Structure 1
Amino acid sequence: MLPNILDVALAYDLQFNPKTYGKKESLAKCPFCKEDSNKRKKFYLSLNIDYQLYKCWYCAESGGVLDFEAKLSGRSFTEVKQKYFGKCQTPIHPAFGLDPYQLEKIGWKEYKRKSFKEFQEKKDEVFQDWENYVKKELVRNYALFMCIAHLENQLERRKELLIWFIKRCWDSTVPNMYEMIQDEFLKPEYARKEWAIEGMEIGRAAWKACIKTMDFEIENLLVYVIFADYFYRENKKAHPNKERATQNHLA
């Protein structure tokens, strides 16, 4: 049985809003960003006692109660899980490790809530949907990162966009997305993973559109990447042996 998230918070001396303590959504000072530490009436961290979830409405740090304790204690997620459940002899299917926010992104949150038995039967499909979602997010965000990195003659603009991009990755339900993208970017092109190569192709096409219009606004950059991604996949279907067909559409 999962620990009570309020008990975990109390064990690490979190400061609560007394008016909300014990309610479905209990509010506390956020120990991660600490943006509310000097604001007497502000409590940015929400603790949901029904689902044992937490989320900071300022820095967007979020997850389940085991993850919460892991971050507060500095221990690994595995160590915290073993503290409550011991060492599991039978491997747990990765679909059961997805939190409600991740399941919501792939359309399985309510399905699991309404019928856990059927969710168990479809666990392979669930995890496949999650893997597809993760790849799509990595590809598009790698393309965005490529475009930002190309702003070599606009250092202030690149710095501004990079800060925005890092926050975007932190807000994502894909764990460690920024670190994965950065690691792939630093590798030689031939050594990059498939999703990074796809993202590179899409990023090049989107960058051409940016250069053509001299438009580097965040909203439009996202649109260019989405269109480039769409054309990349359509070209891949029509020309499976052509790896660089995308660039011709936005050139």
Structure 2
Amino acid sequence: MLPSIMEVALQHELKSAELDDRSKRKKRSVKDVRFKCPFCKATDHPKFKDKYYLSLNTEDNVFQCWFCGESGGVLKFIALLENKSIEEVKQELFHKGNNRVQRKLHPAEKLTPSQLQSMGFLTKNWKKPSPRDLDWIWSEWLLCVEQEKRMGYMFFLEANTSEQILVVIHEYACKLSVNPEDLLIEFSQAKFANKKKPKWAELAEEWLEEVTL
């Protein structure tokens, strides 16, 4: 049985301070409850910081943000909140506490909804891909990672201040769904590497060298 999307919201730090009490007082409150969306930047804007765009439909167990457009069911909701893939969430929910050996996930099945969407894959009505499709999705993701790291590394090298570096790191860490500190270490190691650099770093440095000639 799937967990209640309302319970999931309250368990993942979407606490009462973020809950729109007005939505609870309305007649439709049992069905539709509003929160501040944790997936978009609406709360960073002075004009929208007091708005409650995340709608939880407690009857259908689905969510939708009316600002950023993020939507889906409770499994995707958990995956986004915990930065996990939907398949990982399924295994944790449905195999927890039993002695069954969990199926080994394909690397592509470990991609989060955000990572899949960055490649243009829609996860709203996501059907389980075939093994061949999973291989293709994973190869596409590896290409995407190479491209994003190459671009991010170029901006990292061109940054003149620590503030600019942090902006670049956070932007590309978000695109790749990785920890900003880990990406900063990876870029720094590539910059000062004495031995062979990663291919994305070599290409970025070659391109910058051609531009500055």
Using the size of structure 1 for normalisation, the TM-score is 0.54
- Residue in structure 2 matched with residue 113 of structure 1 by the alignment: 125
Change (3 A) 1:10 1:174: closer
For the pair 1:85 / 2:95, whether they are aligned, the reply is yes
For the pair 1:14 / 2:15, whether they are aligned, the reply is yes
2:109 to 89, 92, 96: 96
Change (3 A) 1:194 1:70: closer
Q: Which amino acid aligns with 2:169?
A: I
1:75-132 alpha-carbon deviations (Å, 9 max, x no partner): xxx899636533753211122222333222223326x826x25555511111111111
Asked whether the equivalents of residues 114 and 177 of structure 2 are also in contact (C-alpha less than 8 Å), the reply is: no
2:177 to 166, 174, 186: 174
- Residue in structure 1 matched with residue 36 of structure 2 by the alignment: 28
Q: How many residues align?
A: 187
Moved over 4 A (4+): 47-55, 78-81, 117-121
Asked whether the equivalents of residues 29 and 42 of structure 1 are also in contact (C-alpha less than 8 Å), the reply is: no
CA distance in 2, matches of 1:183, 1:2: 38
Change (3 A) 1:7 1:97: same
Asked whether the equivalents of residues 140 and 199 of structure 1 are also in contact (C-alpha less than 8 Å), the reply is: yes
- Residue in structure 2 matched with residue 230 of structure 1 by the alignment: none
Matched ranges for 1:44-63 at <5 A: 46=54
The answer for unaligned runs of 5 or more in structure 1 is 72-77, 152-157, 209-250
The answer for unaligned runs of 5 or more in structure 2 is 69-75
Secondary structure of the residue that 1:190 maps to in structure 2?
Answer: coil
How far 1:202 moved relative to its partner?
A: 2.9
How far 1:190 moved relative to its partner?
A: 1.2
Asked whether the equivalents of residues 56 and 62 of structure 2 are also in contact (C-alpha less than 8 Å), the reply is: yes
- Residue in structure 2 matched with residue 137 of structure 1 by the alignment: 148
Q: Which amino acid aligns with 2:92?
A: Q
How far 1:140 moved relative to its partner?
A: 1.0
CA distance in 1, matches of 2:6, 2:185: 36
- Residue in structure 2 matched with residue 213 of structure 1 by the alignment: none
1:151-182 alpha-carbon deviations (Å, 9 max, x no partner): 3xxxxxx2442243133134324323662243
Q: Which amino acid aligns with 1:107?
A: G
- Residue in structure 1 matched with residue 71 of structure 2 by the alignment: none
- Residue in structure 2 matched with residue 126 of structure 1 by the alignment: 137
Secondary structure of the residue that 2:8 maps to in structure 1?
Answer: helix
Change (3 A) 1:129 1:79: closer
Identity %: 21
How far 1:4 moved relative to its partner?
A: 3.7
1:27-79 alpha-carbon deviations (Å, 9 max, x no partner): 2375xx9x68xx9x715673666796798x79xxxx841452589xxxxxx89
How far 1:138 moved relative to its partner?
A: 0.7
CA distance in 1, matches of 2:146, 2:155: 14
1:187-240 alpha-carbon deviations (Å, 9 max, x no partner): 52315333223233234445x2xxxxxxxxxxxxxxxxxxxxxxxxxxxxxxxx
Asked whether the equivalents of residues 34 and 55 of structure 2 are also in contact (C-alpha less than 8 Å), the reply is: yes
Change (3 A) 1:198 1:178: farther
Moved more, 83-92 or 93-102: 83-92
Asked whether the equivalents of residues 156 and 169 of structure 2 are also in contact (C-alpha less than 8 Å), the reply is: no
CA RMSD between the two structures? 4.6
How far 1:185 moved relative to its partner?
A: 1.8
CA distance in 2, matches of 1:13, 1:160: 29
Change (3 A) 1:181 1:130: same
